[in-house]
């Protein structure tokens, strides 16, 4: 059984240049890997914890292993990312995405320093964006969608803090299960990266909250040429 949060009504105000640029880059690179060959691309541009020469943290977070991997990640990014880019602006949204992705990868490295399996995917960075969303919009309506394999069995209406919080709790439990049991040999999902990225996103969200970005956003913050809408 799996669950994931589904955003309710949370209108946006601006054009999300960075969000759609990231989606376009990830999609374009996915189709490029199909042409070049996944194994070659992942070994060259994925992140290999055991390799001192492979430090492709940035490139790895734009690669995806399959169409469902890509679609799921881009859907999550679109669902939560538009509101985050609204609040912090284009430049800081990109910076937060990269910071969360890097810290997610380093968290994975902490658990798997000797791994020779390439780490790829935007999940860690997107988990960070979800963490920021939880901080910025905790009371916005959201659903918890519960699946068994690919079949939806229930949908619970609640708020973002509950829905995203439940999803994060599931990531922690699955991560602990995989790290502590032989199941890690069969599941190629980097739950530890999800957890690391999410914690980084919550921390960044609290910093922006403290600096008044969210308050200025709801008060109609003006656009700044470099840093976004909140200054």
Where do the domains of the chain lie, and which CATH numbers do they carry? 2-218 (1.20.1540.10)
Alpha-carbon span 61 to 23, nearest angstrom = 12
At residue 148, the pLDDT reads 81
H/E segment holding residue 146: strand 141-148
At residue 209, the pLDDT reads 94
- Three-state DSSP class for residue 222: coil
Long-range Cβ contact pairs of 173-182 (< 8 A, separation 24 or more): 179/111
Task: Please list the rounded mean pLDDT of every run of 10 residues in the chain (231 residues).
Answer: 82 88 96 89 90 80 93 94 93 96 94 89 96 96 86 87 95 87 72 95 96 86 49 42
At residue 198, the pLDDT reads 97
At residue 6, the pLDDT reads 85
At residue 204, the pLDDT reads 97
At residue 229, the pLDDT reads 46
At residue 61, the pLDDT reads 94
Q: What are the distances in angstroms from CA 3 to CA 30, 90, 138, 145, 182?
A: 26, 30, 18, 5, 23
Alpha-carbon span 226 to 95, nearest angstrom = 12
At residue 186, the pLDDT reads 67
At residue 217, the pLDDT reads 87
At residue 230, the pLDDT reads 42
At residue 43, the pLDDT reads 86
pTM of the predicted model as reported, rounded to 2 decimal places:
0.90
Q: What are the distances in angstroms from CA 29 to CA 21, 85, 164?
A: 12, 23, 28
Alpha-carbon span 215 to 142, nearest angstrom = 21
Alpha-carbon span 192 to 136, nearest angstrom = 23
CA angle 191, 197, 198 (to 5 degrees): 90
């Amino acid at each position: 059984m799996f669950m994931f949060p589904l955003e309710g009504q949370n209108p946006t105000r601006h054009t999300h240049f960075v969000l759609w640029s990231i989606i376009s880059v990830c999609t374009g690179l996915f189709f490029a890997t199909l042409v070049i060959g996944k194994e070659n691309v992942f070994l060259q541009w994925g992140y290999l914890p055991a390799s001192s020469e492979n430090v492709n943290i940035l490139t790895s977070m734009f690669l995806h292993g399959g169409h469902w991997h890509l679609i799921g990640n881009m859907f999550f990014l679109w669902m939560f990312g538009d509101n985050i880019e609204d609040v912090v602006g284009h430049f800081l949204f990109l910076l937060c995405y990269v910071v969360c992705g890097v810290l997610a990868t380093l968290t994975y490295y902490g658990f798997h320093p000797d791994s020779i399996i390439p780490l790829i995917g935007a999940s860690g960075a997107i988990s960070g964006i979800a963490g920021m969303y939880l901080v910025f919009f905790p009371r916005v309506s959201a659903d918890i969608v519960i699946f068994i394999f690919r079949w939806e069995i229930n949908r619970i209406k609640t708020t973002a803090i509950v829905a995203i919080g439940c999803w994060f709790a599931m990531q922690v439990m699955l991560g602990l299960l995989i790290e502590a049991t032989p199941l890690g040999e069969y599941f190629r999902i980097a739950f530890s990266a999800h957890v690391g990225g999410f914690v980084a996103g919550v921390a960044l969200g609290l910093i922006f909250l403290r600096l008044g970005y969210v308050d200025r956003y709801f008060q109609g913050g003006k656009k700044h040429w470099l840093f976004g809408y909140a200054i």
